[in-house]
Amino acid sequence: MNLNTPIGQIPKVGSFHTSRLKKLKIETVEDLVHHYPFRYENLGTPVKINALKVGERVSTAGKVEQIQNIRTRYGKNLTFATINDGTASIEAVWFNQPFLVKTVTPGAKIGLAGKIDYFSHKPTLINPDYELLNKPGTKGGFHTKGLVPIYPETSRLSSKWLRNKIKEMLPMVVGKIDETLSSESRSRNSLITKRQALWQIHFPNSEEQVKQARRRLAFEEIFITSLQAIERKASWEKLVKARPLNIHQEKILTLISNLPFNLTSSQNKVIKEILADLSAGKSMNRLLQGDVGSGKTVVAAIAAYVAYLNGYQTAFMAPTEILAAQHLKTLTSILSPLGVKLSIRTSSSKKRGPFDIIVGTHAILSKNVTFDNLALVIIDEQHRFGVEQRALLRTKAKRAHVLTMTATPIPRSLALVIFGDLDISTLDELPQGRKKIKTFVVPPEKRNRAYQFLRNKILEKRQAFIICPIIEPSETLSTAKAAKEEYSHLKTEVFPDLKLGLLHGKMKHSEKEIVLENFRDNNLNILVATPVVEVGIDVPNATVMMIEAAERFGLASLHQLRGRVGRSDQQAYCLLFTESSTENVIERLSSLEKHHLGLKLAKIDLKMRGPGHIFGTAQSGIPSFKIAELTDLPLINAARNEANLVFNQQKVNFTKSLRKGLEKQPLVTPD
């Protein structure tokens, strides 16, 4: 028996259980012993039968005096047993488990856990959990007393079954489990060994043991992820010898002084960080995170200008055509007066000719775009690109610095785990004078008032967005309003006298452009759209944002959506419609009424729904941890520091460093 043994080969696990276990992603013995409980039921220490009290949940034990099945008048199967422990006896009753009499026989010693109540006028343990105690290896029992682990289950595969199997297998394989942390690492961070942790997570003697075990296993997950990231970073730095760039201070200052605004101190700080990278003779690989509207584009423009001044090209990649077009416009206004030549490359625009900066979608990655002279790659909204696309870009950009940008700021220590191979810069303030977007969660009964409110704003010559979560109707998304349907409904029933436009992701680029142009020119009062508007639309006259089925979005996505309004000195509003009245949902959405910084909202989402939801959809690139909570910042920091320390001390690759940490350990077993 070893860790790789397929689960179907262990005794008494047939094809039925094998298929059930597969549902839990358990295919080998190793998977089984790493299937961790998600909670524990504390059944306490067994109580003598003469001390049992009616109404309590108890753990007790004794000898079976007699047991028999009875069929009631109504056709129910009851199994009655009398249990005696020398101090007194008590009845137990089970419903519909007539097979019990085959295993629980008179004279057997059993442990019981359950609630005592009156049954047929007698104090009785009703449907208690039970276990036989005279089988070898069961000693005091582990299902009916103490802290009993409860596992993620699947139908017809109970925690009791899993507990039994783990109890059986763990002693056989625990000696083969490799240690991943050296004794120095463990003692620096007060961690128990991996083997000890596995025992304690499955069969703890106390809450304290559970805590120790969880902490140890969570630490390991983060430690390993971090070490891998540090490795990747080191190999990136070795592999990519980006062109060192000179910083032409005077010219950059001229650009900055020609901007129609003063840079925020955050922007200044971040620009310094980037320029330091570019000139340091190392390869920049930096993530710039900052809220919608925090002014990332101008930062990117300055970096691109540096490349230009050194005679090199920049590729600027955006996730949608709309956004690419927007960026082209912005960059052109800042840089073309300085002589920089810009070009665009999307699936529908293939402007050719020489360029200093090429802006585009992933079409930039196509074979027939070649770079003579690439020194900088900028990726906007990086989380919208797949891992492969990012990798492909890197292979195209052998000697280029990379700046990635995201409008979903997340706490620094979390970012370091998720994007551990990147350096991170954060824009943590908005340009001065921005008004907070007044945000309201709107229950169904206030919908008409909200429409009236919107109508009034349109009378004041303002414009509005109405966002629907999906394009086509879908049975499963019952509360979602399909944009098309919603559009025709709004157009005919709600705002027949107003001009409405429709924008969704399945439209041709040229169609989108026409709609957008009309909206920009205020020929449309309301733009009904799917979340494609999340990025790239800049219409300052739009001051109202209505979002349907808001509960479907992550807070960070909602925050980005509302960032489409509030782009002028006019007060802007965001109305979040939800049919849900679940307290949790309302509480989550209400945080948008109170908070106006993405970072804060990301922290709330992280707490309430976990990291997978911050970005709206489960996102590629976020490591999934079995046990580590990405909200446990002190632990994350400790594990990251340790990973750095180990990496720097050993200066060898990750797997080698793990091997080195291996050592023979005594086989630990619980008492």
Considering only 193-201, 258-266, 521-529, 546-554, which stretch makes contact with ligand ADP by CB under 6 A? 258-266
State in angstroms the smallest separation of the CB of 502 from ligand ADP.
25
How far apart CA 424 and CA 426 sit, in angstroms, is 7
**Binding to ligand ADP in span 381-410, by CB under 6 A:** 407
State in angstroms the smallest separation of the CB of 301 from ligand ADP.
9
Identify which of residues 163 and 559 has a Cβ nearer to ligand ADP in the complex. 559
How far apart CA 304 and CA 99 sit, in angstroms, is 76
Give strand ranges (E) for 240-335. Answer: 285-290, 313-317
Q: What is residue 291's three-state secondary structure?
A: coil
Identify which of residues 488 and 571 has a Cβ nearer to ligand ADP in the complex. 571
Site string for ligand ADP, 76-95 (x = CB under 6 A): --------------------
Site string for ligand ADP, 8-47 (x = CB under 6 A): ----------------------------------------
Question: Which of 247, 298, 507, 633 forms a contact with ligand ADP (CB under 6 A)?
Answer: 298
Q: What single string gives the DSSP state of each residue in 383-400?
A: GGS-HHHHHHHHHH-TT-
The sign one gets for the Cα dihedral 494, 495, 497, 499 is: negative
**Binding to ligand ADP in span 515-574, by CB under 6 A:** none
State in angstroms the smallest separation of the CB of 31 from ligand ADP.
43
How far apart CA 449 and CA 445 sit, in angstroms, is 8
Identify which of residues 93 and 537 has a Cβ nearer to ligand ADP in the complex. 537
The sign one gets for the Cα dihedral 538, 541, 544, 547 is: negative
Considering only 91-99, 209-217, 259-267, 391-399, which stretch makes contact with ligand ADP by CB under 6 A? 259-267
How far apart CA 155 and CA 16 sit, in angstroms, is 12
Considering only 106-114, 263-271, 625-633, 644-652, which stretch makes contact with ligand ADP by CB under 6 A? 263-271
Residue linked to tokens 């008409």: 448
Question: Which of 267, 289, 320, 557 forms a contact with ligand ADP (CB under 6 A)?
Answer: 267
Told to check if 261 binds ligand ADP by CB under 6 A, we report yes
Binding residues for ligand ADP, total number by CB under 6 A: 15
How far apart CA 216 and CA 214 sit, in angstroms, is 5
Task: Output phi, psi for 450, to 5 deg.
Answer: -65, -40
Identify which of residues 407 and 556 has a Cβ nearer to ligand ADP in the complex. 407
How far apart CA 639 and CA 221 sit, in angstroms, is 9
Question: Which of 290, 360, 409, 411 forms a contact with ligand ADP (CB under 6 A)?
Answer: 290
Task: Output phi, psi for 228, to 5 deg.
Answer: -65, -40
Tokens linked to 640: 């990251």
State in angstroms the smallest separation of the CB of 588 from ligand ADP.
23
Told to check if 296 binds ligand ADP by CB under 6 A, we report yes
Beta-carbon contacts of 543 under 8 Å, excluding residues fewer than 6 positions away, are 457, 462, 463, 464, 565, 566, 568, 570, 571, 572, 573
Which of 501-504's residues contact partners 24+ apart within 8 Å by CB, and which partners?
501/526, 501/527, 501/528, 502/527, 502/528, 502/529, 503/527, 503/528, 503/529, 503/530, 503/532, 503/533, 504/471, 504/529, 504/530, 504/532
Identify which of residues 326 and 343 has a Cβ nearer to ligand ADP in the complex. 326
Question: Which of 13, 43, 292, 393 forms a contact with ligand ADP (CB under 6 A)?
Answer: 292
Considering only 10-18, 80-88, 294-302, 385-393, which stretch makes contact with ligand ADP by CB under 6 A? 294-302
Please give the residue whose beta carbon sits closest to ligand ADP in the complex.
295
State in angstroms the smallest separation of the CB of 332 from ligand ADP.
13
Considering only 104-112, 173-181, 287-295, 351-359, which stretch makes contact with ligand ADP by CB under 6 A? 287-295
Identify which of residues 318 and 422 has a Cβ nearer to ligand ADP in the complex. 318
Question: Which of 37, 62, 114, 295 forms a contact with ligand ADP (CB under 6 A)?
Answer: 295
Question: Which of 37, 141, 293, 661 forms a contact with ligand ADP (CB under 6 A)?
Answer: 293
State in angstroms the smallest separation of the CB of 359 from ligand ADP.
14
Q: Are 533 and 561 in contact (CB under 8 A)?
A: yes
Q: Are 580 and 426 in contact (CB under 8 A)?
A: no
Considering only 38-46, 141-149, 172-180, 262-270, which stretch makes contact with ligand ADP by CB under 6 A? 262-270
Considering only 19-27, 194-202, 290-298, 446-454, which stretch makes contact with ligand ADP by CB under 6 A? 290-298
- How many CB atoms neighbour CB 229 within 10 A? 22
Q: Among candidates 352, 368, 382, which has minimal Cα distance to 289?
A: 382
Identify which of residues 114 and 293 has a Cβ nearer to ligand ADP in the complex. 293
Told to check if 612 binds ligand ADP by CB under 6 A, we report no
Tokens linked to 638: 């400790």
Q: Are 423 and 579 in contact (CB under 8 A)?
A: no
Q: Are 470 and 477 in contact (CB under 8 A)?
A: yes
Q: Among candidates 553, 542, 538, which has minimal Cα distance to 614?
A: 553
Q: Are 542 and 518 in contact (CB under 8 A)?
A: no
Site string for ligand ADP, 411-440 (x = CB under 6 A): --------------------x---------
State in angstroms the smallest separation of the CB of 300 from ligand ADP.
8
Binding stretches for ligand ADP (CB under 6 A): 261-264, 267, 290, 292-298, 407, 431
